[in-house]
Amino acid sequence: MATRSVVPRADNEGGIGTALKNWALGWINVLIVVTINGLTLTAAAVGFTISGGSSSTSLSVPVSGVVGDWSWWGLKNLRLVDVKAGDATRVVINPDGYNIPLLIDEHWHIMPAATDVDLDTDMDTGAKAAGTDYYVYACTDGATLSFKISANSTVPTGFDAAHSRKIGGFHTLCVAVGAIGGHTLTNYAQTDVLPQSVWDLKHRARCGNNAGMVYDTKSCIWVDIYLASGTGAATASVNGGAISDTRDWNDFVDDGGAVGKRLMTDPEFQLAATGSNEETNIAGSADPGTTAGHTDTAGRRMISNIGCEDMCGVLNQWLQDQSAMYDDNVAAGWYDLPGPKGKLYRPVDTNDVKLFAGGYWNDAANAGSRCRYAGSCRWHTRTNVGARFVSEPR
């Protein structure tokens, strides 16, 4: 079967024809505004070309004599910032070595090669800290491109918004993992970069805030590292936060929604918890009160393969999933829910069920990545039940 290109019928015309002709003025060499991934370039005499001829999708433009590959921004699988293989104190910018054009306020630069950025030597100020969110910045003095790491989420020390642009970030490990056979994070040290926490302008959470999150490649979602702290717009995944509990399912749904996140589903929890302690609970068998890197009764760190803390044997966590159970005390009818926000209809002998996952601080052998409790309604509140939130990728 013959194929046809979508082309104008003649030069400068907008119809569809069957022979190859030039678009617009024939060449893209006049005033053009190009916007790619939020980067906008206006150019009149920069000499844009379509690289490789009419069959290419690569738009190239020289900046200071270097041709930038604009099509890079449209390739979702290519990372701007990634982990540094074999070195958990660094990340690498432009790991595939493309000529990436980048706009910093009014300053255009091309990133022509992979560049390592070190948490020890490229920090803007101070020393690295455990369980902390760091941000990677591309910086300029107007002529030269450089990179900085900062705990400041707006600008790095020594630069202003006109001379810096946040291009990614990561979270550091709160407590050393120790040796755990078969674990992806075995022997990771305190303050090491959590590999799955590394994000950039093309690989990040839809909620708009990657602080305290890691990416699960199995379920393709961003997951909170820590149990939820705070409520409403103050809801966070943070090291050392006061764990939110004694809130019903409805309240936690609202908390997650206030920050653009949601509760985990049953399969998502199982996948994200892989590598966590199984059939044990937290050392001391008591509510820890705050988020951190805890140890179980066997002396093992309570951390999953992707870096989620306290998924099993600390606090149960509400799941999004709906279930039901037989209850001969229930007559068919409408049931009043907390607050004037509607009622729940229950069929005869049937009660509402929302699942918890993981087990709590005294569940011992019941706790684990596949531990589920199917005996609570959405309006129940308990001191041993909290939540963990997720966000789809952007």
Summarize pLDDT for 151-190 with one digit per residue, the tens: 999 999 999 999 999 999 999 999 999 999 999 999 999 9
Query: Rg for the chain (alpha carbons), in Å?
Result: 26
Residue 261: both structure tokens together: 């996140």
Euclidean distance between CA atoms 107 and 86, whole angstroms: 34
Question: 228 pLDDT band (50/70/90 cuts)?
Answer: very high
* Residue 52, both tokens: 């490789």
Does position 96 have pLDDT exceeding 70, yes or no?
Answer: yes
If phi > 0 it is left, if psi is from -120 to 50 it is alpha, else beta; for residue 271 that is: alpha
Q: What separation in angstroms does the CA of 44 have from each of 28, 29, 31, 133, 296? A: 10, 7, 4, 41, 64
* pTM summary value: 0.81
Cβ atoms of 102 and 109 within 8 Å: the answer is yes
Write down the pLDDT at residue 35. 44
Distance of CA 203 to the CA centre of its chain: 7
User: What are the φ/ψ torsions at residue 4 (nearest 5 degrees)?
Assistant: -130, 145
**pLDDT tens digits, 252-278:** 999 999 999 999 999 999 999 999 999
**Under a CB-based contact definition with an 8 Å cutoff, are residues 382 and 245 in contact?**
yes
First to last CA, the chain: 38
Calpha distance 351→355 (Å, rounded): 13
Report residue 61 as tokens.
């433009």
Q: What is the pLDDT of residue 339?
A: 79
φ and ψ at residue 261, rounded to 5 degrees: -120, 180
pLDDT for the residue numbered 309:
99
**Residue 207 structure tokens:** 């909620």
pLDDT of residue 342: 79
In this prediction, residue 329 carries a pLDDT of 75
pLDDT digits (tens, 9 = 90+) for 41-81: 444 334 333 333 333 334 455 556 566 788 899 888 999 99
Please give the average per-residue pLDDT across 306-311, as a whole number. 99
Q: Are 177 and 299 in contact (CB under 8 A)?
A: no
Q: 306 or 70: whose pLDDT is higher?
A: 306
Q: What span, in angstroms and rounded, lies between the C-alpha atoms of 371 and 48?
A: 58
In 10 A of CB 67, how many CB atoms? Answer: 16
Percent of the chain scoring above 90 in pLDDT: 70
Averaged pLDDT for residues 354-375? 95
Choice between 19 and 141, residue whose per-residue pLDDT is larger: 141
Q: Of 17-21, 75-79, 139-143, 325-329, give the lowest mean pLDDT range.
A: 17-21
- Looking at the domain that runs over 204-391, which CATH code has it been given? 3.90.1580.10
Q: 313, 339 in Cβ contact below 8 A?
A: no
Q: Which amino acid is at 55?
A: S
Average pLDDT over residues 373-382: 89
Q: What mean pLDDT do residues 194-200 have? A: 99
What's the confidence (pLDDT) of residue 34? 45
What is the pLDDT, as a whole number, of residue 69? 82
Helices (H) and strands (E) in the chain, counts: 2, 24
pLDDT score of 16: 44
